[in-house]
Amino acid sequence: MRTAGGSIARLSPALAARGRSEGIREQIQRVARQLFVQSGYDGLGVGAVARAARVSRSRVYALFPGRQALLAGVVDHDVDELVARMVPAARAQPDLDTMLTEGVSTFLDFVEERKGEYEVLFGLTGRLEPDVARLLQSLRDRLVDAYLLLFRPAVEAYGIKWPSEAEARLTAHAMMAMVEGAVQAWLAEATLPRGRLIQVLAAMIRRALVPLLAGARAEA
């Protein structure tokens, strides 16, 4: 790396080591995602990942001590990326309706890029494997945190009293479950054009919110 004076500066050993470690972590996560899609949770072992990533077993284990940690690393990375995409995209919209449309569109973009992973994670594996089910619950909780923070200003812009934390979280989980189910069905058989699917899902969420919003107005 060159300094302002043109001389070459060397990275400190600690910084260089951290860069190598982060690169290996990303490599392991990429391989773990591929193995999970190809072989499911049963195929996601430290040994299999080490062989495919061409790193030592001990190195994989030091970063991800077991298959649950491997899948958790993949899921956490995906949640971070989804939130990083969705928040600026939705915040750029002028009102709740267009925020919902943009939010659904961003989510669908993300799912289509990871179609195989999504189908395995939210399909039978997510229902039958206790470790995966726990990770999914953690994933949903993190997304709920992000969604409530993102959409609260738009909801309050309607002059509506924000519900209790428990009610708000329950509502967000219900909306997520509805979208997950619809997207799973659409991925299995795309009976609607993509654009129409986005419109339908955004409208479903809006209709589900209307009674809650009306009730909140009445109590305000």
In this predicted model, what pLDDT tens digit does every residue of 21-48 receive, in sequence order?
668 889 999 999 999 989 888 888 899 9
pLDDT at 213: 55
Q: Which domain holds residue 199?
A: 68-219
Contact 100, 202 (CB under 8 A): yes
Alpha-carbon distance of 163 to 150, in angstroms, equals 15
CATH number at residue 35: 1.10.10.60
In this predicted model, what pLDDT tens digit does every residue of 57-72 receive, in sequence order?
999 999 999 999 999 9
In this predicted model, what pLDDT tens digit does every residue of 133-188 receive, in sequence order?
888 899 999 999 999 999 888 888 866 678 889 998 998 999 999 999 999 999 98
Residues 138 and 212 in one domain: yes
Q: Which long-range contacts (CB under 8 A, 24 or more apart) does 86-89 make?
A: 86/146, 86/150, 87/146, 87/150
Q: Stretch 101-109: mean pLDDT, rounded?
A: 94
Q: Which of 26, 47, 65 corresponds to the end of one domain?
A: 65
Amino acid at 48: A
Residues 94 and 80 in one domain: yes
Alpha-carbon distance of 71 to 62, in angstroms, equals 15
pLDDT at 219: 56
Residues 105 and 27 in one domain: no
Residues 155 and 59 in one domain: no
Contact 69, 135 (CB under 8 A): no
In this predicted model, what pLDDT tens digit does every residue of 79-97 receive, in sequence order?
999 999 998 988 888 888 8
* Nearest CA-CA partner of 120 in 55, 31, 37: 37
Residues 79 and 61 in one domain: no
The count of structural domains within the chain is 2
pLDDT at 2: 47
CATH number at residue 177: 1.10.357.10
- The verdict on residue 42 lying in a domain is yes
Greater confidence (73 vs 7) lies with 73
